[in-house]
Amino acid sequence: MLMTTRPMFDLALEGGFGIGAFNVNNMEITQGIIEACADAESPVILQISKGARQYANIRFLRRIIDACVEEYPSVPIAIHCDHGDTIDLIRTCVDDGYTSVMIDGSHHPYDENVRLTREAVEVAHTHGVVVEAELGMLGGIEEDVVGLDPETYQREIEKYLTDADEAADFRAKTGIDSLAVAIGTSHGACKFVNEPKLAFDRIEAIMTTCPGLPLVMHGSSSVPREFVDLINRYGGDLPGAMGVPEPQIADAVRKYAVCKVNIDTDLRLAMTAKIREVFATNPGEFDPRKYLGPARAAIVDMVRRKLEMLNSAGKAGAVIDHWSRQGQPMPSHYSRVA
Ligand code: G3H
Ligand code: 13P
Ligand code: ZN
């Protein structure tokens, strides 16, 4: 069932679990994610980056997601814009039937981030669409913005973490529904050079100044060693790969207000490892179904593993009940979507 993230976050905050926000770029990735969520009876956020819109053409992606909604009515699904950077893009996403958008003004000066975010909230809320924004800075590559290398980022981390008092001011001035926070994570496969560690003290401080605000963790892939090893074994080259340990993410959703956990890199690793393995073990293979099929199955396994970590398995029914009880209207633009 299509919905906003609001009922998901209400229950996640209360129940000590997190919602997986997985990036979708094509049919096999989307099918793999939704199959795992249906099996586990878990709510899910399907998120689309600007790059994904360009790669797949949003009309195609939307229809793949519509098929998920039709095929799996018992799975709560939110469609989310990942790292939206302009008001034009936010408007387009609202028109395209997204139920949630992120406006990422984190690379602008604070006042400009506030102005941009407030405008995005006005546009989205008018149509019943919820808004995530970002404060603080992550490492790694973020859409078109090339961030800091992992070594510099980790060494100078204090200056990039989200400031708790600024977060409270930002929330009051913008009216956001959730906030992406910088707590030591980075996008991509190389997040840490030394010991991987989330800034839990910073999350606690933000929870004190922003009570009840759902927090979002970007850059939350764990970069499991076995997948990096498989890729390297079958001809890949991924030196220095290191992600966020899964037990730390499990703690972030169980004990703290982290409600949304963004995962893209781990899906890419699972898919790439499997395709490399097929080609390496059967060099004569040229039927795309014979390597994309196993790659899709690898996505199912990876997402299952993440849903366990997030403790969101079995929560689908409660989320649908909560959404229905609240009589939450669908975003008002939805009927306009062709
Ligand atoms: O935050 C970045 C996500 O991994 C999306 O990546 O812009 O390459 O689609 P992308
Ligand atoms: P990863 O690169 O850690 O998967 O993070 C993805 C993300 O934050 C998408 O917004
Ligand atoms: Zn991100």
Q: What is the pLDDT along the chain (338 residues), one digit of tens a residue?
A: 999 999 999 999 999 999 999 999 999 999 999 999 999 999 999 999 999 999 999 999 999 999 999 999 999 999 999 999 999 999 999 999 999 999 999 999 999 999 999 999 999 999 999 999 999 998 876 655 556 788 888 888 888 999 999 999 999 999 999 999 999 999 999 999 888 899 999 999 999 999 999 999 999 999 999 999 999 999 999 999 999 999 999 999 999 999 999 999 999 999 999 999 999 999 999 999 999 999 999 999 999 999 999 999 999 999 999 999 987 667 765 544 43
Taking the C-alpha atoms of residue 242 and residue 46, their distance in angstroms, rounded to an integer, is 24
Q: Residue 291 contacts by C-beta under 8 Å, 6 or more apart in sequence?
A: 274, 275, 278, 279, 285
Ligand 2 centroid distance, CA of 299 (Å): 15
Query: Going by CA atoms, what residue is nearest to atom 5 of ligand 2?
Result: 219
pLDDT of residue 54: 96
What pLDDT, on the 0 to 100 scale, is given for residue 212?
Answer: 98
267 with 302: CB under 8 angstroms?
Answer: yes
Domains, the chain, in order of start with CATH, read 6-335 (3.20.20.70)
pLDDT value for 156: 82
Q: What is the pLDDT of residue 334?
A: 53
Ligand 1 pocket check for 274: Cβ under 6 Å: no
Ligand nearest to the CA of 221: 2
Atom of ligand 1 nearest to the CA of 265: 4
Q: Pocket residues for ligand 2 (CB within 6 Å)?
A: 23, 82-83, 187-188, 218-221, 262-266
Q: At 130, phi and psi to the nearest 5?
A: -90, 160
**Which pLDDT score, from 0 to 100, does residue 329 have?**
67
Q: What's the token pair of residue 191? A: 């997040």
- Atom 9 of ligand 2, residue of closest alpha carbon: 262
Report the pLDDT value the prediction gives residue 146, as an integer from 0 to 100.
57
Residues identified as active-site:
82
**What's the chain's length in residues?**
338
Burial of 50 by CB count in 10 Å (0-12 exposed, 13-18 middle, 19+ buried)? middle
Q: Which residue's CA is minimally distant from atom 9 of ligand 1?
A: 51
Note the pTM of the prediction, 2 decimals.
0.96
